[in-house]
Amino acid sequence: MTRIIVIEDDMGQQEELQSLLAHAGHEVRAVGDGVALDRCLWQFTPDIVLLDYNLPGEPGVALASRLRQRFGSRIGLVMVTARGMAIDRIVCRRAGVDDYLVKPVDFDELLALIDNLSRRLKMTKPDGESWWLLSSRFQLVPPGASAVTLSGWELLLLQALATAHNQQADRDTLIRALGKNPLAYDERALEANISRLRRKLPPLADGSNPLQAVRGMGYQFTRSPSSVDPPTPPPPVFSLARAKVP
């Protein structure tokens, strides 16, 4: 089973795609634009995203670029569009799209493409993606890198992210983790703490920072798609990759 998000503003086509994919045994969510996508991602992390080029608000190629920047190689992106010009394909490829289908789409071809892309993603998924948070030592141990010494507030922020769904937390949750009242706390102070923490973190393999802003919501701690096996840390430990507290 593959987790799929369909981004399509034509409700008829959206419902048809969602029904087809669900009938084929996949777990599917469907949205009509980038705003709805951001809300969906707060609760659902996809393996593959199918997206149209012409969408209201943020166009499909911009969404593809944003998704690739956020998730790296951990997800597959498929453009499903009526635009068949070579220049459109080139623009989408440069934005990080893996495959490109021109409407009307043959559903058997689409299902075969999803199966192949799912297999490729599983074959290239690395082991040992955990970043270890050592609360007793006030340290974060990235895979293959030196431990990062944390301040008390930085430790609280990362603990909140470690235990949040999909390792995403909104600003109010992070402010409460610092022991503050979201109604009275200046969000600029939170931004300053996040900024200092980001500067401490080593970059991922693609050069991006593992602590990313989630537009309109809060922050997410992402994992490196090419990390190495983590060291064996002494307890107590939080695994940010698993977001569980032993």
- Cβ atoms within 10 Å of 127's Cβ, excluding its own: 10
Q: Which residues of 152-186 are buried (b: 16+ CB within 10 A; e: fewer)?
A: ebbbbbbbbbbbbebbbbbbbbbbbbbeeeeeebe
Rounded to whole angstroms, how far apart are CA atoms 76 and 35? 20
- The helix or strand, by DSSP H or E, that contains position 118, with its residue range, turns out to be helix 107-124
pLDDT for position 234: 37
The DSSP output letter for 186 is: -
* Tens digit of each residue's pLDDT, the chain (246 residues): 899 999 999 999 999 999 999 999 999 999 999 999 988 887 788 899 999 999 999 999 999 998 888 777 778 999 999 998 989 999 999 999 999 999 988 999 999 999 988 888 775 554 445 677 766 667 777 766 677 888 888 888 988 887 777 788 899 999 998 989 999 999 899 999 999 999 998 887 778 888 999 887 899 887 643 323 333 333 344 445 443 333
| pTM (2 d.p.) | 0.57
pLDDT for position 17: 93
